[in-house]
Structure 1
Amino acid sequence: MRVPKDNFPTLETERMRLRRVTIDDAADMFAYCSDKEVAKYVNWDAHQSMADTHIFLNLILNQYKGNNYVFWGIQDKQTHHLIGTINFVSWKKKHRTAEIAYIISRDYWGRGMMTEAAMRVIAYGFTEMNLVRIQARCFRENLASERVMEKVGMTFEGIMRMAMQVNGIHYDLKLYSILNHEFDAG
């Protein structure tokens, strides 16, 4: 997705600001990316050092330079800390479809914050990107992510058998989706 650099979409929810990630977010990002429980169901290893976080941040920042990536940092409005990220990991403009992915600090698990962030991003996808379908996938064992998908109104479509390899092991993924006419932003 091409987004003009000076027009990156900052999105608001009741408790969070979804905004461009900056190099100043490194310490906050390291705090949750180094947590093995947070990294348990992603396709990257828990960060071992700030160097790992800087490599990850530079990948994001380079994507911004190309004006073709919508990757939001999730900032807690109360503390002003970066507590996670949410982004469109794929966007097929011709087909008007996209896939979202997200991660949040363990300190914020169970508070409904990821559901709140996902609702806002999905609303943006349908209203501003003119999408007709948004999907998300999670490891079969990731019940918390599955619960977020259900809370935002996504429908379970099935199991993608051995669809992702991480550290030499293939994992099944659950696939969920929502269509624009099914989404209720209220």
Structure 2
Amino acid sequence: MLRVADIFGRFPQLETEQLILRKMRKDDARDLYEYASDPDVSRHTLWNAHRSLLDSQRFLEAVIEQYKSKEVTNWGIEHKADRKFIGTCGFVYWNPDHRRAEIGYALSKSYWNQGIMSEAAHAVMQFGFKKMLLNRLEARCNVENIGSERVMQKIGMTYEGTIREQLLIRGKFEDVKLYSILRSEVSLEC
């Protein structure tokens, strides 16, 4: 049986054609603040738009602590051409006993509609099925978050249904769409 520390004890770096998925660092704070302070980016998230650079620094400190504790967490997305930190993608949870996990992500608005998040999510999905030996990978989004839903569709996930009023976000109960993909439905790349 795999344990979280077996996989995330030495946090792996992933690379795609356009991206490096890596540990987040304290010096990512300005790039993080640049997109996390944008209300359009945080509109459908559980977190509020960052109001100051300090909010971004605190977020990074929390993630860095998760790396040290060998917990399941997010990769920072670095755009190769720009050498810029532009978002996050990773696992919201992992249940090794049931070989099931959920992914989540956020991306700077400057990089929307370019296939970047689909590329990052695909890399994380491949990692999950190959290294974590997942049987099932899930993702969720608010019903109004069309961009996030498109990412799920592009990486081959199947819509399973809408979970009514699952999340309380900024004082309003939100319906959430559930997508998943199974190991048997994935072509594992070498």
- TM-score (structure 1 length as normaliser): 0.96
How much does 1:167 deviate? 1.8
- For 1:146, what is the secondary structure of its paired residue? helix
The 8 Å contact of residues 11 and 67 in structure 2, kept in 1 or not, is answered as no
Task: Find out whether 1:151 has 2:154 as its counterpart.
Answer: yes
Q: State which of 77, 82, 90 in structure 2 corresponds to 1:79.
A: 82
The one-letter code of the counterpart of 1:49 is S
Alignment-derived partner of residue 164 in structure 2:
161
Q: State which of 87, 91, 102 in structure 2 corresponds to 1:88.
A: 91
Task: Write the distance in 1 (CA, Å) between the matches of 2:12 and 2:73.
Answer: 8
1:19-168, aligned counterparts within 5 Å?
Answer: 19-168=22-171
The one-letter code of the counterpart of 1:59 is A
Task: Write the distance in 2 (CA, Å) between the matches of 1:71 and 1:158.
Answer: 25
The 8 Å contact of residues 119 and 185 in structure 1, kept in 2 or not, is answered as no
Task: Write the distance in 1 (CA, Å) between the matches of 2:83 and 2:129.
Answer: 28
Compared CA separation, residues 185 and 117, structure 1 to 2 (3 A) = farther
Q: State which of 172, 175, 182 in structure 1 corresponds to 2:185.
A: 182
Task: Write the distance in 2 (CA, Å) between the matches of 1:141 and 1:185.
Answer: 31
How much does 1:172 deviate? 0.3
> RMSD across aligned C-alpha pairs, in angstroms?
1.0
How much does 1:185 deviate? 4.9
The one-letter code of the counterpart of 1:155 is T
- For 1:83, what is the secondary structure of its paired residue? strand
Task: Write the distance in 2 (CA, Å) between the matches of 1:49 and 1:148.
Answer: 29
Question: Which segment is superposed worse, 91-100 or 64-73?
Answer: 64-73
* Number of residue-to-residue matches in the alignment: 184
Task: Write the distance in 2 (CA, Å) between the matches of 1:148 and 1:179.
Answer: 16
Task: Find out whether 1:18 has 2:52 as its counterpart.
Answer: no
How much does 1:183 deviate? 1.3
- For 1:68, what is the secondary structure of its paired residue? coil
Unmatched 5+ residue regions in structure 2? none
How much does 1:58 deviate? 1.4
